[in-house]
A and B are shown apart, each in its own frame.
Chain A
Amino acid sequence: MSGDGSDPNGPGSTPDSATGALLDAARRSDLGLVLGTLLVIYLAATLLTFTNGLNSVVGLLRTLTFLGLVYALAALALNLQWGYAGLFNIGVAGFMALGVYTMGIVVRSPDPAFGPPGFGLPLPVGIVAGMLVAAVVGLLAALPALRLKADYLAIVTLGISEIIRLFLQSSSFDNFLRGTLGVGTGGGRGMGMPQNPVRELFLVDGQAGTPTAFGELVFGALGDGGLGISNSILIGWGYVAVLAAFVIGFYVLLERLGRSPFGRTLKAIREDELVADSLGKNVNLIKIKVFVIGCALMGLAGILWFGSQGNVSPTPQFMPLLTFYVFIAVIIGGSGSNTGAVLGGIVFAAVLFEGPRRVGSALRDVIDAETPSSFADALVSLDPVSLLAYATDNIAPLQFVLLGFVLVFIMHRRPDGLLGDRIETAAAVDLSERPHGGETDE
C-alpha cells in the first residue's frame, strides 16, 4: 500500500520508462496529478477488498475519498495561513470545532427530542454563522498574537484550540448557555448534527424507504435494483460529490488569492516582514486579514467534515492531534502549493490514516496464528508470523510509528513535500517570460 501511495510522486529521478513518461505528463497537469493519485489509491483499495464483494469495495472507496477531501479542505485553509503567509497556526482543530458547533447550535431545533436545544434557523444561516464565529474568534486571537514572533503565535493558537475544546466539553458552559441564550453544546456528550441535505436529495424527509424521484433513479440503477450497492453508500457518494465541489471552490478561491498582489504581499511577509513593511505594506493588517480568512475557511471545513458525521463531541474529535494531521497533510503536499495541499490531504488520508488500518485488518484475516498477549511475548516467540499477527492486531498505535518515519523521511529527503518545490507565481499575470511589445533591444 505504501508503495502504491508514493508511486505517482516517487523519488522523481527515473523518467526513463513508459510509466515515467506517463507520470511526467500527469505532473504537468494538476488535475491529472490529483486524479491519477486517486486512481492509484482506488486500485490499491480495490485489490485489498475485492474478495468481499462490490459493496465493501465501493464503501471503502467512499470512505477514502471522503477523508481525502475533508483533509484537503482543511489543508487548503491551513496552506493559506502557513504556506503563503508563514503564520504558524496550531489551532486548526479549535477553529473547525467552532464552525461545526456554531452551525449545530444555530440549526438545531429549539425543542429537540434529545440533546441540547438550538435556535432552529435554516442550515445556510448556520453555515454562515459557523464561518463568522470562527473568523471573529480568529480575529480576537490574531489581534494580540500576530504581534508576536512565529513560535509564540503557535503557542497561543494551540492554547486557544484547547480552550475552545474544553469550553465545549464543560457542562458548566453548557448550563450557562442554556440559562442565558436557551441553547446548549451538550457538554461532553456532544451534539447531534442536523439532517444532511444530501440525504434529503435521495430520500423524502431523509426517511429510509421513501426515495425521491432522483433517489429512485439512482437506487434503481446502482442500488438494490441494479448493481446492489447499499443505499447508504450511494448517499455517501452523493455527499462526496458535494465535498469535491467545495474542494474545487476552495482551490479556485485560494489560487486567485495567491496569484495576485495580495498573494505577493503574503509571500513577502513570510520571507521578511521588515522588507514588506519598508516597501509600504501594512504587514499587521495583512496578517490579520489572512488569518481571519483562513479561520473562516477552517470553520467551513469543520462544518463540511464533522457536520456530516451524525454527532460531534469535543473529545476526542477536536484534540490537537487533528491539527497535527492537517499539518502533516500540508507538509506531504508541500507548503505553499494549493495543488500540493489537495494532494497531501488525499495521500495522507488514504496512505497514512486509513490505509494502514485496512491493510492491517486484511492481513490479520489472512494470518492463521494466535495473537501474542504482549509485545514482549511476540518478540520472544521469535516467530515472524506471530509477530506479524501482533503487529496487525495493534495497527493503530503502530500507525504513529509509521507517521513518524514518514515525517522524518520527508524532512530528510524531500523537505519541500510533493509539490513545494514548484514556483507558485504570485502575480495575476504570467511572469515566465517577457511580454512582447516592450523595447527589448536596449
Chain B
Amino acid sequence: MVQVRHPYNKVTARIADELRKIVGEKYVVFGDTERLEPYSHDEVAEAEYAHMPEALVRPGTAEEIAAIVKLANRERIAVTPRGAGSGLSGGAVPLCGGIVLLCDRMNRVLEIDAANMMLVCEPGVVTNEINNQLADYGLVFAGYPMSLETCYIGGNVAENAGGGKAVKYGVTGRYITGVEMVSPTGEIVRYGGKCVKDVTGYNMVQLMVGSEGTLGIFTKIWIKLMPLPKEAVNLLVLFETVQQAIDAVPRIMTSGGIIPTAIEFMDRLSVQASCRYLNETIPYEKCGAMLLVEVDGSDEAQVERDYEKVGELCVECGAIEVYVADNHTTRERIWKVRRNIAEAFKVVSPHQSLEDIVVPIANIPAMIPELEKLSAKYDIQIPCYGHAGDGNLHATPVKNPSASLEHWHAILPHIMEELFKVTARLGGTISGEHGIGHKRKKYLPLVMGEAEIEMMRQIKRALDPNNILNPGKIFDV
C-alpha cells in the first residue's frame, strides 16, 4: 500500500453518522475493513498502488452528492469518486483515505431521445447496457472501451476511455455533449445538453471529460448517438513479421481509402500466449504478428467490397492468411484472441504493468525493436498489442516468473521510465486511454513541461481550493 503524507482529517464516527443521515443507513460502510477492502484498488494489480478508504458512501441523487462534498470541504476529508473500478491508472483509488463515493446506485437511463439522437443517463449505468437498450431504436453509442461489460459510463467519461473502435469512431469524449455534476465545492452545475454545436463560454464539458475525478462528480451525462451500423465484418490477418503488419495499417486507410472500425495489432508474444490459452487452432505458430481489422456499415455489398479491398491490401503487404468473420460465431472467435491477451499473461505471471503508450502510427515499427531491447536488458517479456490504427499500444511488461518479487519491484520503475522515454522520443505520450491517475504521475514530466503542468494545477486550485476531489492524481497540487 502507498504511504502518503497529507493534510486531511479522518472520517470519524460522528462524520459517518452525518453521512448516514445524508444517504441512508445502509448506504454507508464505515469501520468494516473487509467490506472496504474492494474499494482500495482498481484493476491495477500491484498492491503498492492500493490505499484503504475510511468510508464508502453510495449516494442516490445529485443533492446527496452535493451534501457529501460540502461536508467533506467543511471537515477537510478527501473524496474519491468511483465507478465500476475497472480502471488501469489507479484513478479510483482513495490515495488519501477519506471517502470513496460509489455511483453504482445512480444507474438509470433517464431518457432515450430518438428524434434528437441523444441519451441521458446517470453515471452508474453499465456501458454495455446503454447499447443493449439502444438496439431496438437502431441507435448506438459508439464509445467502445474493452471492459464494456463491466465498466460504468461515468468512469468512461472521467477517463475519456478509448478502446477498440476509435480509428473510425473516436473516443468517449466525442459523444459527450453535456454533463451535470457536483463541483469540488459542492455546487450542482450543468454544462451543455442536447445541442450538437455549442460555443457558449469555455468548453467545460470537454474539460470535465478525462478529468479523472479531480474536477467534478458526474450526476447526469448527455450522450450523442449514431445510427447502428447493420453490417460488420472482421478480418484476422496473419503476417510473418511485425513490419509487414504495421506497413499494412496506413495503406488500408490511404491506398484503400477505407477507415476501418478497428485495426488491432498483436505481436508474436501476444498471439502465441492468447492462442495457447484459448486452445485456438488457427496456424499461429509461424506468425510474427496479427492484425484484427473490422469494417462496418449499413450496406452489405459496400461492407463486402471494403473488407475485400482491405484483405487484398494485406495480401499485397505479405499476409500469410486472411480469415473472414461475418457472423456472430466467427466474430466472437476472432475477438477472443485479442481480448484474452491480458488474461493469458496472468497465467505467466499475475505481476504485470498494463501500459497504453501512444505514438504516431507511422512510428510503431520503430517501437517494436525498442521493446525487444528492453525485454533483453531486464530479462522479462513485454507483449505488445493494441489499437494500431490509433498508434495506441499496450506494451505490457510481465514479471519473469523465475525472478523474485523484490527484483520485479526494483526494476519496474526503470522499465517504465525507459519505456516512456523511448515513447517520447518517437513523438508519443505515456497514456492514450487509461489515464495518469497516480500510477503514471511521476512520469508526466517526461512528456510535459513545467509550464504546462502548472497551468493544469492552477485550474485544479481554482475549482477545488481545498483539494478535496481525488487528491494525489495526475499531478501534485
Genuine A/B complex: no
Q: Please report A residues at the B interface, Cβ cutoff 8 Å.
A: none
Q: Please report B residues at the A interface, Cβ cutoff 8 Å.
A: none
